[in-house]
């Protein structure tokens, strides 16, 4: 009886298990119908609409950028840096009273001078004449007697200058730098004229003459008499727009002691006008003047019984200028990026009169003044009498006499020459001796103007290359900055002016080259400091992210997730359908 009851329950459970297993396996592994694609199409369509809309969004936040010639800027910068600008300089040596025919030929003498010049130039720098020199040598044709010519050259230096000029013209000088060496009995004397020539008179040996000629060529004509031959680019006082404003100020330290005035209009018309005209290729110079009162200096002076005057030392110079009381910089005319050079004449008060500058070696300064590079210069002028008039209630008004004004302006012109990078005195001391440098009534001699032109051409082109390079890097580093057409034009014109300056420099036309280089630098500065550059940050990435992320980040996440899920499910269901079809084939 027990065996019969067990068998019916087992058979019932087996039947039920078989029935339930069949539909479960069907649902999990196979699918009878093809999967639908409606939801997949909806999700993918939304995703594609977002993808297609992205170019429209990108177009709406696009900004205008004028094309800039980056390649030309890079080429120009690398050219300026790698190959120094070379100016063709012609040199000519004229020997009078020498007997070269039986010893050496003219070419050998020229080669010797050129070799010595290469040794002296230390490789040269920007603004020089390059490293390769060629010197033309001429020997007198017997029509000039050395002794008679030497006698004439030892007379007045101005007359000698004109005489040497005519001799140089006879030997085909042109624009070459010339040195005339006269071998005669007497002490050796060397003078550099106010044109492009110099002369050496005296008992000169041949080797000594070669050294002397080479030194005059390199140290004076090429480097301008400056001991440092390289361009001090930080000491070029021309404004970025090519203008210099010379602001002359007469400071009365205490008008209760005395009041001094000057007749500056006459000085402006007689002395300064030739200087301005001479420097026209380098800078556009304007002049203005004022008289200020109650303007004491900041530093202190001490009384010196030995010299009978108040003294201030070189360590007091940084504190001499009283920026609080010396209102020098009120110049509406110097607008924009002009350069103002302050030339100050300081008249001390009664309790500091006379005021002298003591040099570090204990001597008294002859000029009684000093310069500050890129700012200007100060000259202390002491009145004739330091006795204050106590009887009169009103201080007496004086006008500086024309003679004193002339002396003052000699010192001021020397300071201006120093500010521009030249020597302020008239001596050059070299290895082979001392040379006298003649002055010009225009303040600058021909060869000095050549030196200034070369230096300014070099500095302007270098500054232009630096500025354009900075602009190029700035523009390329900020892809979201608007670049206006005006900037593109300025860059193009600047590059053209620079090319023109280089070609004129290689030909040797200094004036045109200086003007072109000034224009190129001015245009480069205008482009770099255009008001639209860096005025606002145009649609920076942070700005775009902050504006668009509150909406697009969550929505894009939804769209992507929806499309991914639909695609995943479609593949899964399709696999089931294919399995079902395979099973049908098998059965």
Quick note: the x/- pattern for another protein over 540-559, rule CB under 8 A, is ---------xxx-xxx-xxx
Q: Which is nearer to another protein, 145 or 298 (CB)?
A: 298
- Choice between 331 and 440, CB closer to another protein: 331
Query: Restricting to residues 419-458, which ones interact with another protein according to CB under 8 A?
Result: none
Contacting range for another protein; rule: CB under 8 A; set: 20-28, 143-151, 165-173, 310-318? 20-28
Instruction: Give dist(CA 163, CA 290) in Å, integer.
Output: 43
Q: Which is nearer to another protein, 75 or 553 (CB)?
A: 553
Q: CB-wise, 245 or 471, nearer to another protein?
A: 245
Which CB, 493 or 570, lies closer to another protein? 570
Of the candidate spans 10-18, 64-72, 136-144, 499-507, the one that interacts with another protein by CB under 8 A turns out to be: 10-18
Instruction: In whole angstroms, give the CA distance from residue 381 to residue 410.
Output: 13
Burial of 278 by CB count in 10 Å (0-12 exposed, 13-18 middle, 19+ buried)?
buried
Taking CB under 8 A as the rule, does residue 350 contact another protein?
no
Q: From CA 175, how far away is CA 188, in angstroms rounded?
A: 26
Rounded to 5 degrees, what angle do the CA atoms 407, 409, 413 make? 125
Contact call for residue 37 and another protein (CB under 8 A): no
Beta carbon of residue 88, minimum distance to another protein (angstroms, whole number): 39
What's the longest Cα–Cα distance across the chain? 168
- Please name the residues in contact with 402: beta carbons below 8 A apart, sequence gap of 6 or more: 263, 266
Q: What DSSP line would sit under 30-98, residue for residue?
A: --SSPPP-HHHHHHHHHHHHHHHHHHHHHHHT---B----HHHHHHHHHHHHHS-------EEEEEES-
- Applying the rule CB under 8 A, the residues between 389 and 418 that interact with another protein are 393-395
Radius of gyration of the chain (CA): 43
Question: Residue 95's closest CA among 112, 78, 81?
Answer: 112
User: How far is 126 from 129, CA to CA, in rounded Å?
Assistant: 8
513 membership: H or E segment, kind and range: helix 510-528
Contact 248, 288 (CB under 8 A): yes
Please report how close the Cβ of residue 269 comes to another protein at its closest, in angstroms: 8
Among 118, 233, 298, 331, the residue binding another protein under the rule CB under 8 A is 331
Is the CB of 332 or the CB of 586 nearer to another protein?
332
Q: Please give the distance of CA 347 from its chain centroid, rounded to a whole number.
A: 35
Residue 574 is a binding residue for another protein (CB under 8 A): no
Q: Which is nearer to another protein, 361 or 392 (CB)?
A: 392
Residue 48 near another protein by CB under 8 A: no
Question: Of 13 and 82, which CB lies nearer to another protein in the complex structure?
Answer: 13
Residue 474 binding another protein, by CB under 8 A: no
Determine if 46 is a binding residue for another protein (CB under 8 A). Answer: yes
Q: Which residue has the tokens 């003649």?
A: 438
Contact 528, 467 (CB under 8 A): yes
Sheet strands (E) in 203-261: 243-252, 259-261
d(CA 239, CA 242): 5
Contacts of another protein in 229-288 (CB under 8 A): 255-256, 259, 261, 264-265, 268, 286-288
Taking CB under 8 A as the binding criterion, the range among 12-20, 87-95, 160-168, 181-189 that sits at the site for another protein is 12-20
Closest by CA to 334, choosing from 424, 241, 269, is 241
We find the least distance from the C-beta atom of residue 272 to another protein, in angstroms, to be 11
Note whether 39 binds another protein by CB under 8 A.
yes
Please give the DSSP secondary-structure letter assigned to residue 249: E
Residue 26 in the binding site for another protein (CB under 8 A)? no
Which stretch in 222-230, 372-380, 497-505, 562-570 sits in contact with another protein by CB under 8 A?
562-570
Q: Is 24 in the site for another protein (CB under 8 A)?
A: yes
Q: Are 308 and 353 in contact (CB under 8 A)?
A: no
Question: By CB under 8 A, how many residues form the interface with another protein?
Answer: 47
Contact residue for another protein among 61, 227, 333, 564 (CB under 8 A): 333
Whole-number Å distance between alpha carbons of 229 and 209: 23
The yes or no reply on residue 358 touching another protein (CB under 8 A) is: no
332: contact with another protein by CB under 8 A = yes
What is the nearest approach in angstroms of another protein to the Cβ of residue 34?
Answer: 15
Under the rule (CB under 8 A), what is the footprint of another protein? Answer: 9, 12-13, 16, 20, 24, 27, 39, 42-43, 46, 255-256, 259, 261, 264-265, 268, 286-294, 327, 330-333, 393-395, 549-551, 553-555, 557-559, 562, 565-566
């Amino acid at each position: 009886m027990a065996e019969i009851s067990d068998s019916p329950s087992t058979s019932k459970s087996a039947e039920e298990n078989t029935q339930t297993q069949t539909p479960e396996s069907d649902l999990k592994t196979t699918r009878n119908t093809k999967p639908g694609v409606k939801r997949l199409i909806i999700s993918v369509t939304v995703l594609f609409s977002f993808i297609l809309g992205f170019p429209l969004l990108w177009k709406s936040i696009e900004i205008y950028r004028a094309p800039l010639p980056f390649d030309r800027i890079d080429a120009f910068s690398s050219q300026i840096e790698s190959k120094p600008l070379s100016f063709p300089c012609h040199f000519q040596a004229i020997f009078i009273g020498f007997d070269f025919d039986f010893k050496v030929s003219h070419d050998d003498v020229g080669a010797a001078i050129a070799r010595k010049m290469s040794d002296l130039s230390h490789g040269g720098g920007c603004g020089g004449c390059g490293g390769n020199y060629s010197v033309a040598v001429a020997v007198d044709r017997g029509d000039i007697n050395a002794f008679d010519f030497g006698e004439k050259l030892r007379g007045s230096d101005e007359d000698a200058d004109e005489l040497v000029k005519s001799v140089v013209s006879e030997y085909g000088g042109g624009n070459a730098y010339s040195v005339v060496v006269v071998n005669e009995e007497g002490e050796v004397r060397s003078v550099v004229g106010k044109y492009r020539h110099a002369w050496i008179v005296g008992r000169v040996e041949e080797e000594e003459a070669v050294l002397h000629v080479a030194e005059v060529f390199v140290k004076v004509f090429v480097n301008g008499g400056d001991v440092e031959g390289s361009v001090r680019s930080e000491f070029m006082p021309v404004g970025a727009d090519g203008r210099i404003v010379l602001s002359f100020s007469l400071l009365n330290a205490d008008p209760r002691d005395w009041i001094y005035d000057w007749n500056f209009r006459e000085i402006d018309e007689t002395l300064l006008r030739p200087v301005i005209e001479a420097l026209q290729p380098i800078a556009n110079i304007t002049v203005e003047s004022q008289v200020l009162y109650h303007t004491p200096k900041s530093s202190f002076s001490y009384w010196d019984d030995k010299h009978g005057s108040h003294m201030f030392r070189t360590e007091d110079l940084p504190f001499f200028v009283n920026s609080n009381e010396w209102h020098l910089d009120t110049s509406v005319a110097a607008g924009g990026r002009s350069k103002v050079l302050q030339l100050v004449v300081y008249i001390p008060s009664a309790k500091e009169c006379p005021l002298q500058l003591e040099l570090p070696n204990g001597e008294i300064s002859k000029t009684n003044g000093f310069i500050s590079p890129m700012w200007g210069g100060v000259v202390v002028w002491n009145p004739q009498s330091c006795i204050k008039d106590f009887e009169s209630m009103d201080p007496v008004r004086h006008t500086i006499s024309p003679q004193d004004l002339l002396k003052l302006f000699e010192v001021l012109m020397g300071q201006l020459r120093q500010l521009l990078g030249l020597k302020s005195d008239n001596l050059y001391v070299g290895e082979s001796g001392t040379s006298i440098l003649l002055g010009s009534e225009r303040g600058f001699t021909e060869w000095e103007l050549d030196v200034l032109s070369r230096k300014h051409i070099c500095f302007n082109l270098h500054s232009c290359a630096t500025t354009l390079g900075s602009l190029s890097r700035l523009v390329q580093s900020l892809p979201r900055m608007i670049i206006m057409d005006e900037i593109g034009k300025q860059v193009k014109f600047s590059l053209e002016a620079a090319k023109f300056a280089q070609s004129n420099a290689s030909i040797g036309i200094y004036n045109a080259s200086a003007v072109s280089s000034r224009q190129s630098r001015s245009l480069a500065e205008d482009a770099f400091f255009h008001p639209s550059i860096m005025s606002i940050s145009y649609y920076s990435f942070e700005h775009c992210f902050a504006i668009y992320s509150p909406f697009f980040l969550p929505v894009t996440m939804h769209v992507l997730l929806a499309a991914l899920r639909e695609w995943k499910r479609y593949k899964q269901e399709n696999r089931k359908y294919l399995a079902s079809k395979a099973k049908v084939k098998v059965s």
